[in-house]
Structure 1
Amino acid sequence: MGVAMLHAGFISFSSCIPSFSSGGLSRRCTRFSFTKLHRPLAMSSLSNDPIREWILSEGKANEITRISPVGGGCINLASRYDTDAGSFFVKTNRSIEPSMFEGEALGLNAMYETRTVRVPKPFKVGPLPTGGSYIIMEFIEFGASRSNRSVLGRKLAEMHKTGKSENGFGFHVDNTIGSTPQINTWTSDWVEFYAEHRLGYQLKLARQQYGDSTIYERGLRLAKNIRPLFEGVAIEPCLLHGDLWSGNITSDRNGEPVILDPACYYGHCEAEFGMSWCAGFGGSFYNAYFEVMPKQPGFEKRRELYLLYHYLNHYNLFGSGYRSSAMSIIDDYLLMLKA
């Protein structure tokens, strides 16, 4: 059976208010390559079915017994491959080059190597012979109940504490947040990184896509004046999942938390809570997290600054329903900072 006949499921996308219609932002990705800092996930040669070929060779399977769709989202097609050597999870996308999946694989691998919170181990990324690309990873059987939020908080803090970078803030490749390009150029200063590569980039997209000069000008004014919010804070580059909302959090059959679909980079640990408006963390999560990673001075004053990046991204992806939330945060900070 050819690849084109195998994939009929979907994988999740980072919107927690699905009633908004999709915006017209096109998918743009820079061609990425794996760095020597990570064990490479080899690119496959083109064949009639590179997915089947890998599973029956490097995947150590003798037989694929079943292929079934996995439902749940809107960007990629997803399937479960059952074999005599276990199950594999496969995502494909007919409209992107392997760069997007390469970024995801590097992020998953970086989190996997911390041996803290559970993530699916990535195995293979490659191009499809008829266009598009695929990623093969570990299949994790999900449990019926939600993960314990206090356990998630502790394990996430352990990941932040373990996953460090000697290169500063950023990541080894650019990747995507949803389908929006996420720029991860290494930067020694966190405030500069967040102002330019997070807020600044999203504000430019809003101006390009909607001609929104108001949010662009006010947002840039804020981005240039956020440094006082970080006074007295020692910021280390921590490995972040980057897109942690309820749709990317689940549990395995033993009830242990599992996190999926990352947009990884090394950043200020508090930036991990930028999607908290639809993550359902709660007091038990934060209490457990701060037992491992103590709360930093001014945490409450910075919380909405980190929400802003994701509100801007949702504005760019899904339209004006998110503009007012982003604008409100910008105006409140401009007033607070007297900028």
Structure 2
Amino acid sequence: MTVDWSPDLLPPGRRAETVRRMMGGFAHPVWHCTLDGGENVVIKASNEDRADLFAAEAGGLDALSGIGGLTTPRVLAAGARSIVLEALDPTLPDTDEFWRAAGHVVARMHSGTAHDRFGWDRDGWLGLLPQRNGWDRDGHRFFAEKRLLRYLDEPRVDDALSARDRAGIERLCHRLPDLVPDTGACLTHGDLWRNNVIADHAGGPAFVDPAVSFTWAEVDLAHMLCSGGVPDSFFAAYGEIRELHPDWRRHARILNLRQLLAMLAAGIPIPTIVDSIRELVDTYAGAGGHAERPAARSR
């Protein structure tokens, strides 16, 4: 998205001493600004009215820090065209010590936020596309309907997938109870991958760009694992706090179908996405039969 810098992206009554465009920002461009008075902030902006999106992001950050106990940047303002955040450190230490700390705090969040339903009290956003969050007590139905099937009517997905592909995804959704255990709902970041983990002022892990909901903890683990770039020390440390299912890596591969469909729907230019979707569906959807139901683990 092309957005030109404008002073009206700042909090009311403030002005910028310096403005620097930052790398990244697929869905929205991001600037680092030093405000009058010396405060450093990060501003994410849009040309369009995105008040609901920026309000959802602010609410998600508040939930991660308040309910989940994670470190997140303070929200200074969230308006129609921008969200203004405390500037932390986008440069990761990228050491085993850092990633172990990240694994510990994510595991504590998952362990301490059990919920009796899946979803959230409002719909949210994953990138520029709505995230459906209606409440449901059935985790498999919630994931199938709100995290997989909801993408099949997105124009780019409809154009890219065949009728056979769609039938395979629907078959996989039907088989989810045999493929992925229901470990109960907990607070999840929802878009947890390497680029959404940054450092706080003390060099510890902080978290940005959430798409929060109460769902399976393995949804966060799936994105961290399958998006790449996260060392095994993160997952080892996570397992010290919250038990990992013996087959969690296989579950992660299946749950990552949600992210593949979301990227396809958003038009992210990765030419192998459709092949990855087909390979996953061919592996796990089956044409019939009944796989052994995996045992659930405690929350």
Give the TM bin, normalised by the shorter chain: 0.7 to 0.9
Instruction: Name the counterpart of 1:286.
Output: 235
Q: SS of 1:108's equivalent? A: helix
Instruction: Name the counterpart of 1:11.
Output: none
Instruction: Name the counterpart of 1:243.
Output: 191
Separation of aligned partners in 1, 2:214 and 2:251: 18
Q: SS of 2:169's equivalent? A: helix
- How far is the alpha carbon of 1:212 from its aligned partner? 2.5
Q: 1:177-256 maps to which residues of 2 (within 5 A)?
A: 177-205=126-154, 208-210=158-160, 212-230=162-180, 233=182, 235-256=183-204
- How far is the alpha carbon of 1:216 from its aligned partner? 0.8
Separation of aligned partners in 2, 1:322 and 1:221: 19
Q: 1:20-99 maps to which residues of 2 (within 5 A)?
A: 49=8, 51-53=10-12, 56=14, 64-82=16-34, 83-84=36-37, 86-99=39-52
Greater than 4 Å deviation, 4+ residue runs: none
User: Does residue 100 of the first structure (1) align with residue 53 of the second (2)?
Assistant: yes
Q: SS of 1:204's equivalent? A: coil
Paired residues of 2:110 and 2:217 also in contact (CA < 8 A): yes
TM-score (norm 2): 0.83
Paired residues of 1:104 and 1:261 also in contact (CA < 8 A): yes
- How far is the alpha carbon of 1:179 from its aligned partner? 2.0
Aligned partner of 2:244 among 267, 271, 295: 295
Aligned partner of 1:326 among 269, 277, 284: 277
Instruction: Name the counterpart of 1:257.
Output: 205
Amino acid at match of 2:283: D
Q: CA-atom RMSD, angstroms?
A: 2.6
> Identity rate of aligned residues, in percent?
23
Paired residues of 1:111 and 1:163 also in contact (CA < 8 A): no
Paired residues of 2:171 and 2:286 also in contact (CA < 8 A): no
Unaligned runs of 5+ in 1: 8-48, 57-62, 128-132
Q: SS of 1:163's equivalent? A: coil
Separation of aligned partners in 2, 1:155 and 1:337: 40
Paired residues of 2:108 and 2:241 also in contact (CA < 8 A): yes
1:107/1:337 Cα in 2 relative to 1: closer, same or farther (>3 Å)?
farther
Paired residues of 1:146 and 1:255 also in contact (CA < 8 A): no
- How far is the alpha carbon of 1:327 from its aligned partner? 1.0
How many pairs does the alignment contain? 281
Unaligned runs of 5+ in 2: 291-299
Amino acid at match of 1:299: W
TM-score (norm 1): 0.74
Instruction: Name the counterpart of 1:124.
Output: 77
More divergent stretch after superposition (149-158 vs 196-205): 196-205
Q: 1:269-280 maps to which residues of 2 (within 5 A)?
A: 269-275=217-223, 276-280=225-229
